[in-house]
Chain A
Amino acid sequence: MLAAHRLLGEIIASLRNVIAPAIPDPYPKAQAYMAAVILEFICQQVEERHDIAREKERTLNGLFNDLSAVLAGTELPESNDPEARLCRLIEWLYAEKERFGPEAFAAANRRVREALRQLLDQELKVAGKSE
């Protein structure tokens, strides 16, 4: 997802440089410029949602701990970025499906999908208009 400040900056630029100059009627033109000014103030008030990042981190740490147990101590792929690590882990699980056998794969995949649902629910707090 694009950062909120970046998006607000682009909307302000579009209001000032694209939308307002194209409006011939003075009243809506002034409204468009004023919307840009107000958005600049709002930009100072807005903070990215740290609760989402914290929840995601908790979900990912829990998953990596649980999977080590599910896969009986097998060493999991590593990466500095936890979400990149999860992507590698998913690819690795599918690639090693035969070696793990159907039951272990199903158990690991079920736990991965549980975590994916939790990650998605965090993203949907912003994108899904459900909160």
Chain B
Amino acid sequence: MAETAQEKIAAYLQGKLPQAKDLTLTQFTQTAGGWSHEIYTFYAHWREDTQPVTRALCLRKDPGVGLLRNLSDLKEQYRVLRALEPTPVPTPKVYWYEEDPATLGGPFFVMEKVEGEVPNPWSKVGKQYYAEAAKRGQLPRSFVEALAALHNLDWRAAGLDFLGVPGPGTDFALREVGKWESLIQQSLRKPEPVLTEVLMWLKVNAPKTQRLAFVHGAYRTGNLIVKDDAVAAIIDWELQVIGDPMYDVAYVLSDLNREGSPLLSCVVEREFFLDHYQRLTGLTVDLEVCRYYEILYMMRSTAFWLSASGLFAEGKNKDLRLARTTYSVPVVLDMAAKALGF
């Protein structure tokens, strides 16, 4: 009878690979990152027709109550990754999705563990890593090219319209505002007047979408696996939508993702990013629209931190990292207030 997570996963894989003999898992690790999901990485070894086989795998599991609460959908992530497999967008290959909670206590999916590294851009070591890569020049180029591949994707042909297609005009921006407002409403423990002002401003000033694209929603270093100074895979598929490509561009431009680094997302010069992105996509970056989305991201960050500290306060999650976010709420609201001129 399988008891540990490792034993349970090995038993599950054996069921999926009936031809595999002597299946074992090694270097089984639950990674520290990921507030929305439990993530396990490991190597699976087995024999097939007397030949030894080894696969590096990653398992992403729904923890029940994650940061995004009911806005996170593991099955949707699996479907997105499956749809992206034959496209030029670099993503991990997915193998199996399991909905039955009997195996691990909640839904999960198993995917390829892409070889490479994901330096944390918030750490000193990570900042140094990206700064050195920026000097060599290949990673900044690859960073822009991977984003352009996303935005140039024929998302209808890829079958991604199941994500929901916004209507014309301001529908996309208002949908996003509404989505994060719903998370705020689930999490809020006391009135937040500054946040109310930001929300109202966002509703009144929503920009029109010029063109719909497949949008990652959190495109930055830290959500990219890097190998040999190139983006080997885009990860953290949790916030993707069909929407305004300026939404991703604004995230790259945002101060939220560089904490003091002069480089966008700690890795790319602003002018190079804008020039190369526009050349690869044929789009014109609308800085006024990007400014709107940057403020939307500040509201979204506030929603994340309110949700995180709310989960802690509600006793649903005892991780002290969530408690710490209670102090991040006024800091992000301060950024939004300054962006709005007060």
Contacts and interface: CB of A to CB of B under 8 A. Distances in A.
Interface of A: 1-2, 6-7, 10-11, 13-14, 18, 81, 83-84, 86-87, 90-91, 94, 97, 112-114, 116-117, 119-120, 123-124, 126-128
A127 B192 CA distance: 15
B191 interface: yes
A94 B203 contact: yes
A127 B342 contact: no
Contact of B331 (A18, A87, A119, A127): A127
Given A2-B313, A83-B191, A124-B331, A14 B196 contact: no
14 contacts: A2-B323, A2-B326, A11-B320, A13-B318, A83-B193, A113-B197, A113-B340, A113-B341, A116-B342, A119-B193, A126-B330, A127-B328, A127-B329, A128-B330
Interface in B174-203: 190-194, 196-197, 200, 203
Main secondary structure of the interface of A (DSSP, over half): helix
Contact of A87 (B191, B318, B330, B334): B191
B333 A120 contact: yes
Interface residues of B, number: 28
Contacts of A94: 200, 203-204
B28 interface: no
Among A6, A14, A117, A120, find the residue whose CB has the most chain B CB atoms closer than 10 A.
A120
B257 interface: no
Given A1-B327, A84-B191, A114 B196 contact: no
Contact of B318 (A10, A83, A120, A126): A10
Nearest to A126: B327
Among A2, A18, A112, find the residue whose CB has the most chain B CB atoms closer than 10 A.
A2
Contacts of B91: none
Nearest to A117: B342
Interface in B285-335: 309, 312-313, 318, 320, 323, 326-331, 333-334
Given A7-B326, A127-B329, 17 more contacts: A1-B330, A10-B320, A11-B320, A14-B320, A81-B191, A83-B190, A86-B193, A86-B196, A90-B197, A113-B337, A113-B341, A114-B342, A119-B193, A120-B333, A120-B334, A123-B330, A124-B330
A123 B320 CA distance: 21
Contacts of A120: 194, 330, 333-334, 337
Nearest to A81: B191
A1 B313 CA distance: 10
A91 B326 CA distance: 24
A91 B320 contact: no
Contacts of A86: 191, 193, 196
Contact of A1 (B193, B197, B329, B342): B329
Given A90-B193, A113-B197, A116-B194, A124 B334 contact: yes
Contacts of A81: 191
B276 to A, nearest CB: 36
A17 to B, nearest CB: 9
B326 A1 contact: yes
B342 A113 contact: yes
B342 A90 contact: no
Contacts of B191: 81, 83-84, 86-87
Contacts of B323: 2, 7, 10-11
A87 B192 contact: yes
| Closest 5 pairs between A and B when the two form their complex, measured CB to CB | A113-B342, A123-B330, A83-B191, A86-B193, A84-B191
B162 to A, nearest CB: 34
